[in-house]
Copies of this chain bind each other. A is one copy, B any other.
Amino acid sequence: MDESFVPFRGIKNDLKGRLQCYKQDWTGGIKAGFRILAPTTYIFFASAIPVISFGEQLERNTDGVLTAVQTLASTAICGIIHSIIGGQPLLILGVAEPTVIMYTFMFNFAKERQDLGRGLFLAWTGWVCVWTSILLFLLAILGACSIINRFTRLAGELFGLLIAMLFMQQAIKGLIDEFLIPKREDPSLTEFIPSWRFANGLFALVLSFGLLLTALRSRKARSWRYGTGWLRSLIADYGVPIMVLVWTAISYIPSGSIPKGIPRRLVSPNPWSPGAYQNWTVIKDMLDVPVIYILGAFVPATMIAVLYYFDHSVASQLAQQKEFNLRKPPSFHYDLLLLGFLTLMCGLLGIPPANGVIPQSPMHTKSLATLKHQLLRNRLVGTAKKSMAKNSSLGQLYGNMQEAYQQMQTPLIYQQQSSAGGLKELKESTIQLATSMGNIDAPVDETIFDVDKEIDELLPVEVKEQRVSNLLQAAMVGACVAAMPLLKMIPTSVLWGYFAFMAIESLPGNQFWERILLLFTSPGRRYKVLEEYHATFVETVPFKTIALFTLFQTAYLLVCFGITWVPIAGVLFPLMIMLLVPVRQYIMPKLFKGAFLQDLDASEFEESPALPFEVATEVETLGGTRVTYADDGEIMNEMITRSRGEIRRINSPKVTSSSSTPAQDLKSPRMSERAYSPRINELRAIKSPRTGEVRSSNLGKSKSEI
């Protein structure tokens, strides 16, 4: 992306790029069939549960003016519109914690003004949204998103970790509140006598930790040793919703003398109760707002505009990280423009606006990468099995697989580069296999080419980019409004557990987080970081520099977190993060050596270029080749959640690390892992005749010695 600020150019480019693949966005999604439901449900829960809980928070903070019904409605409407006419369909929209903080501040301001009050609060926020949308339009049109490539890892990951901290804070606060009497409840109820309150708090501990631990376990189900493949897949794909159901069921086990209010459950009005829709007619009250407040609304509007500009762009950026190898173009400018319209609409409807959310957006991309992997895998396994049934040689087998892979690629090339990426990967690995196994022309059988396992190693990371999952999840969030009586059965403590789960799920892959962990890793084990995460900076940057850089970032994070606690200035925290951009560009190069800084926090344009996109006829098998052994996403999970920064092959590093040369590996900085194994093989090939002699002679000696 070049930094051109010519009006409308960015929007035009975005539209051009996305329109090219718009049809494929739908056909590709629909062709994936029922499997699309796995990422959809996963994201639906990740999206709906926080939104419900933020609704609860808003209800407390705004004396019931805004409830979970409004937050759900906003999330659903904005989500549906964005998934249909938005630019980047990987981006998930929702009412976010910063929005809740902003609305709370505005309510506290409005309710104390005589000529605004509780009655005109929503009308006034309508004006705030009007101003916000105007600012967003301007930012979008003038190409403010062109500087998005200056938002390096530094700012993005710091923001991600801040959101994780806010989630975790909410989980802890929620759990502590379970031991206390809620503000708006009658303290004379049986359930609020000390003994029942204590029991309620402990029950909340059990339920939330139960959910957290089982949900974390279930995400790793693919690599379990036990159970059949389909069961493991089911648990890995739907484990989190299943666990919410299970722990909700468990919350109903204690009965008898236990009062009805234990454990505490969600409080929200029925969407069809009278008055639930009173705020949907906000637009006609807007002219009653005094002019001074209409103008004054510009102040919070600038804050929200800055917040949304940053939050929306970073969420989109995190959903499109390099290692996902996306084929379709980004759409920052156009999406910001659309966000302006959505904000305007929400303001006029009297509901809090939704924007791009972290960590749901990157979670969405990850789950779609798993899906794509499953689809590619099924196709290639089928091809390989067919080939082997025909007694093909490894060369022919490879050829057939290449062909199948090609068929799943597509002719229309979006960018200039060739489509060699994925294919080359496939070729290199296969040949490596052939050479280590022996004759390349002999018929291949399962002992030489273990289909189920080898193919996982051949497949590159690719993402099933489409609009269906986003549309479906938004529609399901909308359905939640109708399902409110069912949702009310969920104990609040399960929500707190889920919040903690979301916070923890967003950590792996965040290089900032991994560097923090690295500070606590004993020196002798730092090589393990290299093994697991393939973080090249461990090899190339001195530890002191890494530590200093990380400590600086941590201090900055803590300052940002501290600011959110300050009553009114708290809304300024997005400014703090925005400030990181000039800090990174002008101040940090003076503190750190350029090369190190680039390894730790490469600007986008310094990183390797994205793989090209090829639209059109993505042919994917749907049950055509059914594979019973379905531990598909296992390797995928690892590959995606564990490694950002560079794409890597899982297998080779394992070989090198468990063979006895890790120390040597560490000495060869910046040697990509893909290059490791062949090189070692070559070394062997050269040395073995001689060392073979050495060994045999020494073995003889050792025997005679003893």
Which residue numbers of A lie inside 8 Å of B, CB to CB? 193-196, 198-199, 202-203, 205-206, 209, 213, 225-229, 232, 254, 256-258, 395, 418, 420, 423-424, 427-428, 431-440, 446-448, 450, 452-454, 457, 517, 520-522, 524-525, 528-529, 629, 631, 651, 654-655, 658-664, 667, 678, 681-682, 684-689, 691-692, 694-695, 698-699, 702, 706
Contacts and interface: CB of A to CB of B under 8 A. Distances in A.
A522 B227 contact: yes
29 contacts: A195-B195, A195-B196, A195-B257, A196-B199, A198-B254, A199-B199, A202-B202, A202-B206, A225-B525, A226-B521, A226-B522, A227-B520, A420-B706, A428-B702, A431-B694, A431-B702, A435-B692, A436-B660, A437-B660, A440-B698, A448-B663, A448-B664, A525-B631, A651-B660, A655-B655, A682-B692, A685-B688, A686-B688, A688-B688
Contacts of A437: 660-661
A596 to B, nearest CB: 23
A495 to B, nearest CB: 19
Contact of A450 (B203, B517, B663): B663
Contacts of A695: 431-432, 434-435, 678, 681
A250 to B, nearest CB: 11
Given A678-B695, A688-B685, A229 B522 contact: yes
A453 B665 CA distance: 14
Contacts of A662: 450, 453
Nearest to A682: B692
Contacts of A692: 435, 681-682, 685
B194 A433 contact: no
Contact of A684 (B257, B660, B684): B684
List the 10 closest pairs (A to B, CB-CB), nearest first: A685-B688, A195-B195, A202-B202, A435-B691, A199-B199, A435-B695, A654-B658, A194-B257, A447-B663, A226-B520
Contacts of A206: 202, 205-206
A691 B438 CA distance: 6
B688 A681 contact: yes
A454 B660 contact: yes
A654 B631 CA distance: 20
Contacts of A198: 196, 199, 254, 257-258
B706 A424 contact: yes
A229 B438 contact: no
Contacts of A428: 699, 702
A209 B435 CA distance: 52
A685 B689 contact: yes
A91 to B, nearest CB: 33
Most buried by B among A198, A428, A520: A198
A444 to B, nearest CB: 11
Contacts of A440: 694, 698
A681 B692 CA distance: 8
A229 B702 contact: no
A188 to B, nearest CB: 15
Contacts of A213: 213
Contact of A434 (B431, B447, B454, B698): B698
Nearest to A431: B698
Nearest to A628: B524
A447 B667 CA distance: 8
A449 to B, nearest CB: 8
Given A681-B692, A684-B684, 14 more contacts: A195-B195, A205-B206, A226-B522, A424-B702, A428-B699, A431-B698, A435-B695, A437-B660, A440-B698, A452-B524, A453-B662, A525-B631, A658-B658, A685-B691
A528 B699 contact: no
A232 B517 CA distance: 15
A198 B418 CA distance: 67
A368 B228 CA distance: 39
A702 B398 CA distance: 11
A669 to B, nearest CB: 13
Contacts of A631: 524-525
Nearest to A703: B424
A701 to B, nearest CB: 9
A524 B233 CA distance: 14
Contacts of A196: 195, 198-199
A199 B205 contact: no
Given A202-B202, A658-B658, A698-B431, A691 B226 contact: no
A699 B202 contact: no
A522 B689 CA distance: 41
A421 to B, nearest CB: 10
A395 to B, nearest CB: 8
B199 A195 contact: yes
A687 B232 CA distance: 40
A433 to B, nearest CB: 6
Contacts of A521: 225-226
